[in-house]
Structure 1
Amino acid sequence: MHPIRFEAVQRHGVHVFHHLPGDDVPVSRHWPGLSEEWPEGRTPFSEWAVNNNNTEEVAVYVGLVWRLTAGLARYAIPAYYRDDAARTLGREPVLVDWEYDVDAERLTAESRDNGFVPGRSALTLRPPPTAWEVENAGRAGLFPLATPRDLVSALHAVIFDASSEITVFAVPPGAERFERLTAALRGPVRPVLGDVLGDDGIFLDLTIGSDAGNHDSVVVASCTDLRGPLTALAADCAQRIESYEQRLHELRDVTDFLRMMPELAGVDLDAS
């Protein structure tokens, strides 16, 4: 087990926290069944975006993101694969002009964090892209997330690449607050994180490295100092990981594994 730790910095009045595990991802002992053939039906990947490359730490990250933003309305930008995310989530996004960018090949917070960059979306050749997809290829998609399963579905759209990235904006519920968020992510001027968040929002960027030389990270930002809640949440994650690793011998098959994942993540996939 490698405890989750956050480096804290303050940038233009915003409290920013970086978790940079490098090669020491939070879960150090893994279920051997992740490298075996799975039966048809519910699998570690279908349920938690976990496989033998991006292992149980993905479930830990999903739980961390969801629990930190409890009580807020959550909206996500799956980087680059906007239209794939629309298919996996089964809904159309709200189009915005900017998305966040973290370079998974870099090792330090300063070199990884590129801030907001112009949005973009991949165009698939088969089936041929629609006229709408071509016209809006230079825009990102903002999707509401109702449950942790939605966050996993968004991961399904991006996680097959060398690295994958999802940015979550959590704000108080309501149409007016959502309109403020989308307005801050539109227009020709590069957004400032503090303006996007306002006094009441939480920003999280989850980057997952899959290929060699690409590394995970979690970035958290808020105008409120979240050091206390993050420390408590990280300690709870550590306890859950320790318990999971001690009980690995109990996992006989995929059903046992899936039964254990909510305990590791700290969330039920279908809970709001």
Structure 2
Amino acid sequence: MPHLEPFLRFAHERRDGLHCYVARADEADMPGPMWPGLWEQDYPDDADLNPWCRYAINNGDGEALAVWRALTWELTAGRSRFVIPAYYRDEAAQLRSVSREAVRLVRWEYEVDVEQSEWLSADVGFVPARACVPLRPAPGLWQREHAGFAGLFTLASFRHLTDLALAVGGDATSEITLFALHDPGRTRLLASTLNQAHRPDLAEVLQPGDIFVDLSVVHDLGAGAASYLTVKTPEATDKVELLAGHFSEAFRRYANAASQIRTFDEFHSAIDDLLAPPRSIGTI
């Protein structure tokens, strides 16, 4: 197993009937922006060339969080993916060009508290959902009546996951929760479970072959204790460690070459290589 970058080191324990794999990254562990062009060059207006619009990478978050998202995407491959972007439900719908009436509304969302320095206390579990209700312009009746609901979105591509990162990434902290179901026929059951009157139990939500991932992130280093990438599964798996090894090596190669990147086209090519999946990987 190769040496792992600090933000890709996962601790494994069994808790509440599930296998839990957690990467914790505080200010010392989370790398800053690697490519000097992220703060030295003006970003293009063209969204396809703009690092923030294309990858949710800028001179604040840098490249590491995109690696977390790439690992999440590869880890959940072959499953039906559903995601809750915390708080910014309507912004996520707008970015995905989904009408608010078409969004699955749920009463419960997952919470990992980034203000806690240890995962055991940070892993809060399901909490009542809430969505952003703007003050200006004045919110409409629908917004006021649905402030206590999160949105459960279908995740069809890595581009969709990036869009959700853009939707929630404007605050000092953000959270995205992903449910990857082995059996796509359980979609309605997942939605109804997250919309029930009493607090769901994640161990009962997940069935064999399912994977749960939560990305809780500190964007402003003064806003919280640590960022957490949390993975939970009913069965033990070596896939988390294998992907962590792959992306650690890819990140090390990228970091070593970042100072040689001159243009945004070269940057995009390097990031595509950084986020690319391994040619083969173990299965859960």
Task: Give TM class, smaller chain.
Answer: over 0.9
State whether residues 112 and 125 of structure 2, in contact with CA within 8 Å, keep that contact through their aligned partners in structure 1.
yes
- Aligned runs of 1:75-86 on 2, under 5 Å? 75-86=82-93
Deviations 1:100-136 (CA, angstroms, capped at 9, x unpaired):
1111121111121111000000112344323222111
Q: Which of 136, 150, 172 is equivalent to 2:160?
A: 150
Cα gap change, 1:18/1:3 in structure 2, threshold over 3 Å: closer, same or farther?
closer
Q: Which runs of 5+ in 2 are unaligned?
A: 278-284
State whether residues 163 and 208 of structure 1, in contact with CA within 8 Å, keep that contact through their aligned partners in structure 2.
yes
Inter-partner Cα distance in structure 2 for 1:73 and 1:63: 16
2:214 aligned with 1:205: yes
State whether residues 33 and 63 of structure 2, in contact with CA within 8 Å, keep that contact through their aligned partners in structure 1.
no
Cα gap change, 1:125/1:33 in structure 2, threshold over 3 Å: closer, same or farther?
same
Q: How many aligned residue pairs are there?
A: 265
Q: Which of 11, 14, 17 is equivalent to 1:10?
A: 14
- Aligned runs of 1:192-231 on 2, under 5 Å? 192-211=201-220, 212-214=222-224, 215-226=226-237, 228-231=238-241
Cα gap change, 1:47/1:199 in structure 2, threshold over 3 Å: closer, same or farther?
same
Deviation at 1:27, TM superposition (A): 4.1
State whether residues 158 and 164 of structure 1, in contact with CA within 8 Å, keep that contact through their aligned partners in structure 2.
yes
2:96 aligned with 1:98: no
Deviation at 1:3, TM superposition (A): 5.7
- Aligned runs of 1:33-182 on 2, under 5 Å? 33-36=37-40, 37-41=42-46, 42-91=49-98, 92-172=102-182, 174=184, 176-182=185-191
Deviation at 1:172, TM superposition (A): 2.6
- Aligned runs of 1:185-264 on 2, under 5 Å? 185-211=194-220, 212-214=222-224, 215-226=226-237, 228-264=238-274
Inter-partner Cα distance in structure 1 for 2:33 and 2:111: 30
Deviations 1:120-157 (CA, angstroms, capped at 9, x unpaired):
00112344323222111101110011100100101111
Per the alignment, residue 282 of structure 2 pairs with none
Q: Which runs of 5+ in 1 are unaligned?
A: 268-272
Deviation at 1:160, TM superposition (A): 0.9
Inter-partner Cα distance in structure 1 for 2:112 and 2:85: 12
State whether residues 97 and 118 of structure 1, in contact with CA within 8 Å, keep that contact through their aligned partners in structure 2.
yes
After superposing on structure 2, the runs of 4+ consecutive aligned residues of structure 1 that deviate more than 6 Å are none
Inter-partner Cα distance in structure 1 for 2:255 and 2:106: 41
Deviation at 1:28, TM superposition (A): 5.8
Q: Which of 13, 29, 34 is equivalent to 1:30?
A: 34
% identical equivalent positions: 36
Question: TM-score of the superposition, structure 1-length normalised?
Answer: 0.92
CA RMSD of aligned residues (A): 1.6
State whether residues 74 and 168 of structure 1, in contact with CA within 8 Å, keep that contact through their aligned partners in structure 2.
yes
Deviation at 1:205, TM superposition (A): 0.3
Deviations 1:25-62 (CA, angstroms, capped at 9, x unpaired):
45466111111321221211101111111110121011
Inter-partner Cα distance in structure 1 for 2:7 and 2:117: 18
Deviations 1:75-107 (CA, angstroms, capped at 9, x unpaired):
110001111111111114211110011111211
